[in-house]
Structure 1
Amino acid sequence: MRENKDEVVITSMQENRGSGHSRHSKEIWSPIIKSLPRSMAVLLFPVVVIIGALAYTSRIDPHAIWSGVSSRKSAISSKVGERRPFIGSTGKGREIPVNCSGYKHTGTCPMGMGMGEERRGGTSTCPDYFRWIDEDLRPWIGTGITEEMVERGRETANFKLVIVKGKAYLETYEKGFQTRDVFTLWGILQLLRRYPGKVPDLEIMFDCVDWPVLSSDRYNPHNPPPPLFRYCGNDHTLDIVFPDWSFWGWAEVNIKPWEILLGELKEGTKKIPWLKREPYAYWKGNPAVAETRQDLMKCNVSEKQDWNARLYAQDWGREAQEGYKKSDLASQCTHRYKVYIEGSAWSVSQKYILACDSTTLIVNPHYYDFFTRGLIPMHHYWPIKEDDKCRSIKFAVDWGNSHKERAQEIGKSASNFIQEELKMDYVYDYMFHLLSSYAKLFRYKPSISANATELCVESMVCGAEGFEKKFMMESLVKGPAITSPCTMPAPFDPPSLYAHLQRKQSSIQQVESWEKSYWENQNITS
């Protein structure tokens, strides 16, 4: 059974410029001249006179002329390292309109989006977790990727997506659970709008089910695995991890697109300072999806025992009927500690929990997604034993309440990581670098099969309804980015990878040592 039971107006571009042709040049240029330094004003005055004369005789809007000069001046004076926003409704560049009336009339996608404007170079180095792209693609470094390898991924894939000359073509094999496949495809289309003409030709097989399937013991350099994309992996599999659908919205449970929700979570953390929050560990979710979650519920407070945990079962069916009044994620930053525990595999809830400023208690995970390999124990989170959850949680909370400043620092480091290194700019850049590196391994030319249909924003959003359409509109990339993608960090070499993994393991062992001593002392005093 492939289903996963885990917790589960488009505006056209308008320009309304006043003609301004009959205005006296003095009314227009005087404020501009006065705003400049005296030395620059003296040099610029003759130019202004000439522009004013041209504007008057040729009926050119002098505001339009000045805006071009001003925009170049702004770009030149931008601070080094500044991350510029998307081009969108701000008027800073070209928008790509969405033409639903045209699509419904012709039933065909519009012409290609062409190339993006000339961009400034990458203005920042990508977050450190981008280094895992090279590790995920390592199985194919020696052999490259052949058409036969890609086609072997069809066995479990939900769909095959082909990108040729910046346009997307879809071949569906099996419908994904809920709208996972829909919003994954939508996200890739937004990448093509953000970097038009820059994503290379490629073919990917994508499996929307949680559990990775490419067991590493089945493959070797002489028998490489099929390159299969999905949302998570583990240390024993070779599936390629890719940002999950919820970054563009989870329609079935009313979870908003990440760009919107990230801002709401930031505001939510300000409502109750860490020290004034409930001094317990909080978790809310669906315990029915996994035995480990059912085991977690045994740690709930009772008349006989208080393990410092406050745990709540989430009924998504009731939430849908009642309008999701009790599932607002930004309103759940009320406890000093929040628990993350996997469901049937990894859970999309991890990023929402980490964003809360609360000290995140992570029950020993078996799976990772594309960014979580960048998390460091005791810096971003506190590790919890999977086979002794209750006592582990109680110790973590007691330790944190006795070391408030340190516990608060851990919570803040996690939320800073989420706000700064997992913003949508970097989600798109991760997708771009992963797909670009993947495409470089191809040993054949991608082509469009007879069973594939062209996919475009219009073909997806124009017929959508409800939350699905709402979230698509809210996550629509208005137009090309005005900066290039971030610059990739150096890949791991064997010593640096070993040091990274050893640091994580040492931190976990340190916590286990403290916890052991804590309970030994408890037994002695009792």
Structure 2
Amino acid sequence: MMKTPWKVVLTVGVGVFLLSSCPSLSASEQQRDVDADKCLIWGPGLIARVVLPVRYFFIQAVDSDNQNLTDSVGDKAFSVNLYNSQTGAGVRAWIQVLDRHDGSYIVRYRLYESTKDMKVSIMYNSKHVAQSPYSLNGMVYHEKCYCPAKDITKWLKTMNCPKTYSQIEEDLSPFTTVDTDAVANSAINRFNKAGMHSLCQYRIIDNKIYRKTYGQHVGFKMFMDNILLSITRKVTLPNMEFFTNLGDWPLEKRKISESPIPLFSWCGSNDTRDIVMPTYDVTESTLEMLGRTTLDLFAVQANTGPKWEEKTQKAFWRGRDSREERLQLTVMARKHPDLIDAALTHMFFFPKNEEKYGKLVKSVSFFDFFKYKYQVNIDGTVAAYRLPYLLAGDSLVLKQESSYYEFFYRDLVPDVHYVPFKRDLSNLLDKLKWAKDHDDEAKEIAKNGQEFVRQNLQPSSIFCYHVILFQKFAKLQKSAPQSADGFELVPQPDGHDAYCDCTRRKKKRKEEL
């Protein structure tokens, strides 16, 4: 199983201590007498050494009887302020408090520049919450600062990363050693076909990133560039060489007996042996929180629509015609409008037929999906990358059985985190009817799926997964690359406006994360 990255903790000074969770009140017993002293605050955004594009932490509202509140206490109940501990001057940052409408809150902030010796003040009704103000001593780096930690093992511990992930172990198991020259020859000879495949060959040498592209459509290299640049600003990666598949479909179909080569892809399948990474979608939304993107896993948690009991009791789906079963779903919806609201927004792959599939409709805000109690997840060209966002809401996800998977699917449990239905949709109506007839069980599964995302797909998890994968893969190489001849340097962004001072403060005592 994937490890919970940040459990409920109370921070005092630089020490971090685990707390057991408090018993929760049912909705009928809900009280709103928030006790600021007893509220819980935890998360990586309260630790200076944890550098993320957007730092974040969590608040759990607790009442005077030490009971967790399970309903919102107001979207503006908690105020957060960042300031310099020496001068009291405010720190330039975009701060956002997200109400998850269940008594808990996400606080996230993006620094506009690096700062030093910062305090985080959390207030409720003009009173400090828990151990507020929290001290982040030493440098608190801006995302653009190139100040990598030298020791990758210590960095992983600081980030509270797990020792490994089961998907990584499975993906790397066919490779006892990796001959990078042999891999390069095979990858280029087999997959360097214009119009069919697109690859990017990366070399990381002295923590600098170099690449060479193959194929016609290589624009998606920007996504791999971005996460590599962000990681290498935070930690020193080992010298290594690998190939990234820039297309949707996983490529390596050789059996173990046929000597498959390691190819990094965003999607895996049961009949291929590609090494799976977090998708470009969830990775880019992690990097661009409070930036270019408006849809991310934290934003979804604050926009889950009406309460469960008030949601429209239909299954909802919108999307393009990238798989035949999507067309079948729209036909099913036209026959059963009382159960399903499904429509196509674009058609690129199949002939239009309004009489059969209905008229194309306008795209709707993803947040509006959660007005509906049930969400249908059907593959597109490969796995539908919307699944983590659907799970993050509080609707029940019904997922098509599929040979495709993302990096976290291995830890999802059918009928615990989602309700599965057959690939040909033959039992989808039966599953929907079951959900309607078993409302309490359906609600519990929806909550389990939401909790899975909250615990396992935080921004820190995306960084942990990448770094652990790179670290383990690098150890398999027969030899590490030393030369970047013929490769293009991927430059780090100019961080002069971030005011980076890469002197790291020595710890005076051990921190437990």
TM bin, normalised by shorter chain, reads: 0.5 to 0.7
SS in 2 for 1:79: strand
Alignment of 1:408 with 2:346, yes or no, is no
Deviation (angstroms), 1:95: 2.3
Unaligned 5+ runs, structure 1: 1-71, 100-110, 318-323, 463-472, 488-526
Aligned twin of 1:441: 476
Specify whether residues 83 and 194 from structure 1 end up closer, same or farther in structure 2 by C-alpha distance, changes over 3 A only. Answer: farther
Secondary structure of the structure 2 residue equivalent to 1:337: strand
3, 11, 17: which is aligned to 1:79?
Answer: 17
Question: Which structure exhibits the higher relative contact order, with contacts defined as CA atoms closer than 8 Å and separated by 6 or more residues?
Answer: 1
Q: In the superposition, relative to structure 1, how do residues 449 and 316 fare at CA in structure 2: closer, same or farther (>3 Å)?
A: farther
Within the candidate set 315, 340, 344, 1:309 is matched to 340
Compare 343-352 and 326-335 and name the one that shifted more: 326-335
For the 8 Å contact 1:184–1:244, the answer to whether it is kept is: no
Give CA deviations for 1:369-396 in whole Å, capped at 9, x if unaligned. Answer: 1111211100011111122x2x522212
Change (3 A) 1:187 1:97: closer
1:126·1:426 contact (CA, 8 Å) conserved in 2?
A: no
Matched, 1:345 2:376: no
SS in structure 1 at match of 2:329: helix
Q: Give the aligned residue type for 1:437.
A: K
Structure 1 or 2: more strand by fraction: 2
Which protein has the larger Cα radius of gyration, Structure 1 or Structure 2?
1
Q: Is the 8 A contact 2:144 2:233 kept in 1?
A: no
Q: Which moved more, 1:445-454 or 1:402-411?
A: 445-454
Paired residues for 1:113-512 under 5 Å: 115=150, 121-122=157-158, 124=160, 126=162, 130-141=165-176, 143-154=177-188, 155-156=190-191, 157-174=198-215, 176=217, 179-195=219-235, 197=236, 199-217=237-255, 219-220=256-257, 223-249=258-284, 261-269=296-304, 271-287=305-321, 289-302=322-335, 305-306=336-337, 308-315=339-346, 326-387=363-424, 389=425, 392-458=427-493
Secondary structure of 1:365's match?
coil
The alpha carbon displacement at 1:150 in A equals 3.7
1:185 aligned partner, one-letter code: D
1:257 is displaced (CA, Å) by: 6.9
Change (3 A) 1:235 1:131: same
Runs of 4 or more above 6 Å deviation: 254-260, 477-484
**CA deviation after TM superposition for structure 1 residue 137, in Å:** 0.4
The residue number in structure 1 matching 2:354 is none
Larger proportion of helix: 1
Aligned-partner Cα distance in 1 for 2:471–2:418: 32
Return closer, same or farther for 1:174/1:164 CA change in 2, 3 Å cut-off: same
In structure 2, what is the Cα distance between the partners aligned to 1:124 and 1:96? Answer: 20
Structure-2-length-normalised TM-score = 0.63
Once residues 174 and 362 of structure 1 are traced to their aligned partners in structure 2, the CA distance between those partners, rounded to angstroms, is: 33
Contact 2:202 2:209 in 1 (8 A): yes
Query: Shift of residue 136 of structure 1?
Result: 0.2
TM-score computed with the length of structure 1 as normaliser: 0.62
Query: What amino acid does structure 1 have at the position aligned with 2:17?
Result: K
Letter in 2 for 1:365: S
Cα distance in 2 between the residues matched to 1:481 and 1:405:
51
SS at match of 2:309: helix
Q: Cα distance 1:329–1:249, how it changes in 2: closer, same or farther (>3 A)? A: farther
Identity %: 21
Cα distance in 1, alignment partners of residues 503 and 270 from structure 2: 37
Q: Note the C-alpha offset of 1:200.
A: 1.2
Rate the CA distance shift 1:327–1:446 in 2: closer, same or farther, 3 A. Answer: farther
Does the 8 Å CA contact 1:248/1:258 hold for their aligned counterparts? no
After superposition, give the CA deviation of every residue in 1:80-112 in whole Å (9 maximum; x if it has no partner): 49652333736442425759xxxxxxxxxxx88
Aligned residues of 1:181 and 1:245 also touching (Cα < 8 A): no
Partners of 2:159 and 2:394 in 1: CA distance: 28
Taking the TM superposition and a 5 Å limit, the aligned residue runs for 1:32-51 are none
Residue pair 1:193, 1:480 contacting (<8 A) in 2 also: no
Corresponding residue of 2:141: 95
How many residues in Structure 1 have an aligned counterpart in Structure 2? 367
SS in 1 for 2:374: strand
Unpaired runs of at least 5, structure 2 = 1-10, 20-41, 53-110, 117-135, 192-197, 349-360
Partners in 2 of 1:87 and 1:229 — Cα distance?
Answer: 25
